[in-house]
Amino acid sequence: MTLSSKECDVAIVGGGLVGAAVGYGLARLRQRVVLLDEGDADIRASRANFALVWVQGKGFGYTPYAHWTARSSNSWIEFAALLCDETGLDVAFQRPGGFHLALSEEELARRAAYIDQLHSQSPEFPYRVEILDRSQVAAMLPDIGPDVVGGSYCALDGHCNSLKLYRALLKAAAKHGGKYLASHRVEKIAYENHEFRISTSAGEIHAEKVVLAAGNATMHLAPMVGLEAPMQPERGQIMVTERVTPFLNYPVVTIRQTDEGTVMIGDSKEEGTTPDGLNLSISAVMASRAIRMFPLLGRLNVVRMWAGVRVMTADGFPIYDQSETCPGAFVACCHSGVTLAANHALTLAPMIAAGRLDAEVVGAFSARRFHVSKAA
């Protein structure tokens, strides 16, 4: 098939959460959007997604990321309500605050030192994290085990149902005329006569603008439009237990109870670019730490385990860029597709629709920073 630029204002390459959020944001602004997705055989970062809307710890060493993350967390209330109004789908967003638990005094001391450094980066650091002792944690998480000595808590943390989020984004985009095209693996992008010709496995697409939101694959696509996206992907494993009576009213960075009653456990960061196979020694450590935090987990059956590949830029912070040589080409690439979904739909998409990124808001996330670092 061939879609002309008369039928498509913006082609988004990548059908994961980042692409879907940007696509929804553009479609609601009356942009004619086509979302090009490789399909379920693709190595999706969403498979390694833990569905946290998470702030604490973000921006260590790079304060602009702390501000960007806090902004998205604060926009999530409006964002979730908007999606529900548009689609009737409740994405189960909750923001009770979240915990990072310590299983030894040494762990707690390291966490406290980390948070002190985080807060001291700027007198206007955008969020606060509290260090709590065991009794303070137990007052909020009464089912913790005896090995938990304390932890950190941030009121801006929360979580959602990321599968419902993804479905709601696609449904809302479609409501505004957005098109989702599966099995359209992008092979080549050319810029000619002020439009983009995108060659896919199922035909050619013409568009006035193109947004590269293809996760780790963006590294290979970006040079086609005069951009770059240095990536360093990592593997992660996730376990899901059977359903259990609600006991965990706050998400923990490595453990959360879903709106459906299952418990997700995810505590691994591994080198690797494919999701093939499980490292059972790592799985065993994940399970052991989870049970030490919440002993009742030891009585539950694990019903699913899998590995996925996370989107990770070379320095861990997002890349948002626009091309000077191919005007209308943009990159949107980041690790925290759930947390930043509100920003992508409500803040980034309007910039793309206008044809120019706002340097005051996202200028710190240009890939040019990698060259500045090298020069320094």
Which residue do the tokens 């005896």 mark? 146
**Do 288 and 169 lie in a common domain?**
no
Which segment of 21-25, 70-74, 233-237 scores lowest on mean pLDDT? Answer: 233-237
Q: Helix %, strand %, coil % for the chain, to 5? A: 35, 25, 40
| Domain match, 142 and 277 both | no
Q: Are 190 and 257 within one domain? A: no
* 169 part of a folded domain: yes
Confidence band, pLDDT 50/70/90 cuts, at residue 376? very low
Supply the pLDDT for residue 375: 47
Strands 10-13 and 33-36: parallel
At residue 145, the pLDDT reads 98
* 66 assigned to some structural domain: no
216 and 118, same domain (yes or no): no
Range with lowest mean pLDDT among 35-39, 80-84, 223-227, 330-334: 35-39
Burial class (CB in 10 A: 0-12, 13-18, 19+), 144: buried
Residues 217 and 276 in one domain: no
Any idea what DSSP says for residue 335? Answer: S
- Are residues 255 and 220 part of one domain? no
Tokens (6 digits) for 16: 């994961």
Q: List beta partners, residue 152.
A: 100, 131
Q: Do the Cβ atoms of 18 and 12 come closer than 8 Å?
A: no
Task: Choose between 6 and 244: higher pLDDT.
Answer: 244
266 domain residue, yes or no: yes
Q: Are residues 122 and 14 in the same domain?
A: no
CATH for 20: 3.50.50.60
pLDDT digit string, tens, across residues 340-360 = 999 999 999 999 999 999 999
The answer on 259 and 292 residing in a single domain is: yes
The DSSP code sequence of 241-309 is EPP------S-BTTEEE-TTS-EEE----EE-S---S--HHHHHHHHHHHHHH-GGGGGSPEEEEEEEE
Residues 46 and 170 in one domain: yes
**At which of 270, 293, 310 does a domain end?**
310
For residue 276, the model assigns a pLDDT of: 59
Closest CA to 43 of 243, 252, 273: 273
Is 198 contained in some domain? yes
Q: What is the per-residue pLDDT for 42? A: 47
Is pLDDT of 191 > 70? yes
> What is the H or E stretch that residue 327 is in?
none
- pLDDT surpasses 60 at 255: yes
Domain C-terminal end among 121, 136, 154: 154
Closest CA to 337 of 118, 123, 35, 51: 51
140 and 246 in a common domain: no
| Average pLDDT of the segment spanning 192-200 | 96
- Give the position of tokens 């710890």: 57
Residue 39 pLDDT: 72
Reported as a single tens digit per residue, the pLDDT across 288-334 is 999 999 999 999 999 999 888 889 999 999 999 999 999 999 999 99
- The tens digit of pLDDT for each residue in 260-290 reads 999 999 967 766 556 556 788 888 999 999 9
Q: For residues 225 and 103, state if they share a domain.
A: no
234 pLDDT band, cuts 50/70/90, is confident
Are both 336 and 356 inside the same structural domain? yes
Where among 265, 286, 310 does a domain terminate?
310
Structural domain including 255 reads 234-310
Question: What does the mean pLDDT of the chain come to?
Answer: 93
Is residue 315 within 8 Å of 196, Cβ to Cβ? no
Domain count, the chain: 3
Determine, yes or no, domain membership for 62: no
pLDDT(163) > 90: yes
- 94 has a pLDDT exceeding 80: yes
Cα–Cα dist 372/315, whole Å? 13
Task: Evaluate whether 50 touches 38 at the Cβ level (below 8 Å).
Answer: no
Tell me: the pLDDT tens digits for 22-68? 999 999 999 999 999 987 544 454 555 899 999 999 999 999 999 99
